[in-house]
Every structure is written in structure tokens, then in C-alpha cells.
């Protein structure tokens, strides 16, 4: 909670006055698909990501009159060290030598309609778009980079 929520709140708190002085700008916050649903055994993480979305929506409403846009990018499983750690935790939860990190990874990927993890560059491209003037009419949005995961599970 200290990083996922308080860190975001502090970033907004100190960025907004500077952005106001400069006539506006864009704040892009990383949340997660966990911020729009639930995941067993990850209640604290899910709660923090839901809180980030609520914080973003409030900041978007407060910042709009000053030309400050605020959005979240919500990735699903992405090829990162964090996902590798989650896969390893899932393997450790089983007392079964047939469950490997690769098996855990495939189980996660199987729930994504595009059948794969995303890569960091795909998330970065969405963040770049939301940071740019090309997204000048976008604020208060929850932007999914999730291979279709938010549409439903396979």
C-alpha cells in the first residue's frame, strides 16, 4: 500500500502544482488488470490497484479545469521479473513436481485471449500515447493493455 497507493498519491500531490503553473500536462499511472477485478490470494495487491484507479479518477476531475489529464494504464501479465516471481510463488504452492514455472506461465497465458504475455514495450507505447498531445481529449480513463483479458477469460 505504501508504494502502490501512497507513492502515487504523493507523486500527484507534488506534480500537480508544477503542472498548474505550466498550464497543464499529463499524468499516467500504472495500475493493473487486478485493479478492475479480483485475484485469489492477492487481496492487498488488488486493493491497492483498485485504490489507484479511484485516486486517478478523482485527480482527473480535479485537474481537468487546469488542463491536467490523468489516466491509468492497466497491464495484464507482462514479461517482467515481477511476473516471474508470481509464477515461482504459484509453483511453490503446489506439492507436485510436475508443476514448473513454465507450466504456471502457460496457465496464466491460457487465460489471455491473445494466448501470451505482453511485453514492456507494448505497455510503454500506451503510456507514451497517453503522455502525448495525441491523447489531448483523454482523462479519467482506465486503459487496458491486457491481450483481451478484460473482455473475459478463455
Catalytic residue among 14, 45, 117, 143: 45
The whole-angstrom separation of Cα 68 and Cα 151 is 29
Alpha helices in the chain (DSSP H): 8-21, 43-63, 81-92, 101-110, 120-131
**Pick from 110, 112, 104, 107: nearest CA to 144:** 112
CB 29 within 8 A of CB 14: no
Q: How far apart are CA 153 and CA 128, in angstroms?
A: 28
**Cα distance between residue 13 and residue 133, in whole Å:** 22
45 is catalytic: yes
Residues with catalytic function = 45
Amino acid at each position: 500500500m505504501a508504494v502502490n497507493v501512497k507513492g502515487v498519491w504523493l507523486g500527484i500531490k507534488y506534480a500537480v502544482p508544477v503542472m498548474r503553473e505550466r498550464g497543464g500536462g499529463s499524468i499516467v499511472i500504472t495500475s493493473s488488470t487486478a485493479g478492475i477485478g479480483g485475484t485469489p490470494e492477492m487481496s492487498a495487491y488488488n486493493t491497492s490497484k483498485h485504490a489507484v484507479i479511484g485516486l486517478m479518477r478523482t485527480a482527473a476531475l480535479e485537474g481537468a479545469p487546469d488542463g491536467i489529464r490523468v489516466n491509468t494504464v492497466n497491464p495484464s501479465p507482462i514479461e517482467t521479473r515481477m511476473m516471474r516471481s508470481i509464477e515461482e510463488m504459484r509453483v511453490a504452492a503446489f506439492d507436485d513436481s510436475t508443476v514448473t514455472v513454465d507450466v504456471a506461465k502457460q496457465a496464466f497465458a491460457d487465460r489471455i485471449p491473445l494466448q501470451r504475455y505482453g511485453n514492456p514495450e507494448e505497455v510503454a507505447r500506451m503510456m507514451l500515447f497517453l503522455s502525448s498531445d495525441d491523447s489531448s481529449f483523454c482523462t479519467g480513463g482506465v486503459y487496458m493493455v491486457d491481450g483481451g483479458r478484460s473482455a473475459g477469460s478463455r
